[in-house]
Amino acid sequence: MSRLNLASRVEGSHRQEKGYALRMLTALILAQAIATDAFLDRTRPRWEQVSRQLWDFAETSLQEKRSSALLADLLEKEGFKVQRGVGELPTAFIATAGSGSPVVGILAEYDALPELSQKAGEASQNPLEKGAPGHGCGHNLLGTAAVAAGVAANQARLERKLPGTIQIFGSPAEEILSGKTFMIRAGAFKSTDVILAWHPSDQNYLEKGKRLALTVSDVEFFGKTAHAAASPWLGRSALDALEVFEHAMALMREHVLPTARIHRVIKNGGTVANIIPDYSKVQVWIRDLDIATVDETLARMRKAAEGAALATETRAKVTVLGSVRNPINNDVVGQTLQKELERVGVPKWDESDTAFAKALQKDLKMPEKGLASEIIPYGPAHGSTASSDIGEVSAAVPLAELNVATRALGTAAHHWATTSCSAHPLGNKGMLVAAKVLGASTVDLLGDPAAVAAARAEFVKATQGKPYLSPLPAGAKPVVF
Ligand SMILES: [Zn+2]
């Protein structure tokens, strides 16, 4: 045998050993992952019950007392140590299991939306109670899957004696875009290495670079009241000021980037027509690709308010109520979730799920495409342009956000159709997929400190090592707006 042959045979056997080790590692990871899947399949009725309970509670931002207690109690019974109330938020909690590093966190949300009440599983608008709140963003599924994943991953951690810590963050008030911002300020995420998040959706994918930064502001005008017929010359109308402001903003929309979104509701335009209104209020939401661009538009909006006040001899006041940046999507965490999403696969719809989705689409005059049956490959520019306070968390901890189909294709969040799907078997199927992906990914990351270190390194690079700066003004308290 020539020396060359011997060398290549030795190298070949090394390669075989390496291949064997890799296969064993893959098999081990797969076994761990499947353990969480099996646990979740076994306990499925329990999670469906929890989700339905949250759906029935339908508590809006900062009111989520029963929803928060239900999830926190459950985690406590499952051996998690639970800290109730975080910072200014009585309905926030942090549930912790295990010790040491790595520390893997999962975000749970559970707030509902005003006026989105809808009968469960009905394919046309039919509120359960007119004007009442409803889970029109599917946070009942979101909170339940996060907690289920944490419990499943903790079982696997104990069985396999894995190192590290699992944290479930009970994050209230997402719909007013501030719960997590207050939690960060209270130091909630200080010891967390990576964060897994998910959101109910109409498709299956990893969010990547689509969510927008946002500021929410109240613009108020203060004028002088007078009798509208007897002495209008004595009055200075706050409604006039609001109208001039609205016109200026409408003209400005032509001169902002195509990525900008500026929307508003008039909160107060006076009470009776024969009294000159001395007070008016409009709430403006400005969104764009990043917070710096949003802030530029905000500065222009302030000028429009001042100009309107000048023109009508009134006074303007702009109050920023909330601010969230666009999320930084961590690729290491995102690829971990994508890999598990591909392993678990899309929700297994049956005929009645598809029929229900099509009935909804028909009612909404949308293409009757049914339900998502594929996984979108990992890549940039995927997702929704909606904003979320997870943007703030992503600037403090490496984070990635999974989306799983829990509603009909093409339907939107913040809609009665989503309330309907979130208490339908098809919503539960999506929720189970999300729980499996999050549970298995947690186990993957606990067993792979190198991946966690890589996620942190990527995060440091993305944030240029700058510490997180809160957008909250000093002394800010959470408010419903
Ligand atoms: Zn949501």
- For residues 265 and 336, membership in a common domain is answered with no
Cα(166) to centroid(ligand 1), Å? 23
- Which pLDDT does position 154 carry in this prediction? 98
- For residues 202 and 333, membership in a common domain is answered with yes
Instruction: Flag whether 314 is in a domain.
Output: yes
Cα(140) to centroid(ligand 1), Å? 10
Cα(111) to centroid(ligand 1), Å? 8
Is the pLDDT at 29 greater than 80? The verdict is: no
Cα(234) to centroid(ligand 1), Å? 48
Last residue of a domain, one of 323, 340, 363: 323
Is the pLDDT at 302 greater than 60? The verdict is: yes
- For residues 319 and 331, membership in a common domain is answered with no
Q: Taking a C-beta distance cutoff of 8 angstroms, is the pair 413, 419 a contact? A: no
Per DSSP, the three-state class of 82 is strand
Is the pLDDT at 137 greater than 60? The verdict is: yes
Cα(135) to centroid(ligand 1), Å? 9
- Which pLDDT does position 2 carry in this prediction? 40
Number of domains in the chain: 2
- For residues 181 and 274, membership in a common domain is answered with no
- For residues 272 and 346, membership in a common domain is answered with no
Cα(269) to centroid(ligand 1), Å? 30
Cα(137) to centroid(ligand 1), Å? 5
Is the pLDDT at 13 greater than 60? The verdict is: no
- Which pLDDT does position 9 carry in this prediction? 46
Cα(25) to centroid(ligand 1), Å? 36
Q: Token pair for residue 340?
A: 């598990």
- For residues 313 and 331, membership in a common domain is answered with no
Instruction: Flag whether 315 is in a domain.
Output: yes
- Which pLDDT does position 209 carry in this prediction? 79
List, in sequence order, every residue forming a beta bridge with 206; answer none if it has no partner.
402
Q: How far is it, in rounded angstroms, from Cα 369 to Cα 359?
A: 10
Instruction: Flag whether 130 is in a domain.
Output: yes
Q: Which domain range does residue 342 map to?
A: 32-211+327-462
CATH number at residue 271: 3.30.70.360
- pLDDT confidence of 4, banded at 50, 70, 90? very low
- Which pLDDT does position 10 carry in this prediction? 44
> How distant is the alpha carbon of residue 179 from its chain centre?
11
Query: Please, what is the average pLDDT of the chain?
Result: 93
Cα(413) to centroid(ligand 1), Å? 7
Is the pLDDT at 14 greater than 60? The verdict is: no
- For residues 191 and 264, membership in a common domain is answered with no
In terms of Cβ atoms closer than 10 Å to its own Cβ (0-12, 13-18, 19+), residue 263 is: exposed
- For residues 305 and 217, membership in a common domain is answered with yes
Model pLDDT for residues 237-253, shown as the tens digit of each residue: 999 999 999 999 999 99
Cα(138) to centroid(ligand 1), Å? 7
Of 191, 181, 179, 189, nearest to 90 (Cα)?
A: 179
- For residues 241 and 229, membership in a common domain is answered with yes
Cα(199) to centroid(ligand 1), Å? 7
- For residues 371 and 410, membership in a common domain is answered with yes
- Which pLDDT does position 18 carry in this prediction? 56
Model pLDDT for residues 426-480, shown as the tens digit of each residue: 999 999 999 999 999 999 999 999 999 999 999 999 999 899 999 888 888 888 8
Model pLDDT for residues 45-88, shown as the tens digit of each residue: 999 999 999 999 999 999 999 999 999 999 999 999 999 999 88
- For residues 398 and 456, membership in a common domain is answered with yes
Cα(12) to centroid(ligand 1), Å? 52
Model pLDDT for residues 240-292, shown as the tens digit of each residue: 999 999 999 999 999 999 999 999 999 999 999 999 999 999 999 999 999 99
Instruction: Flag whether 10 is in a domain.
Output: no
- For residues 297 and 334, membership in a common domain is answered with no
Residue 410, phi-psi category: left (phi > 0), alpha (psi -120 to 50), beta (remainder): left
Q: What is the pTM of this model?
A: 0.88
CATH number at residue 355: 3.40.630.10
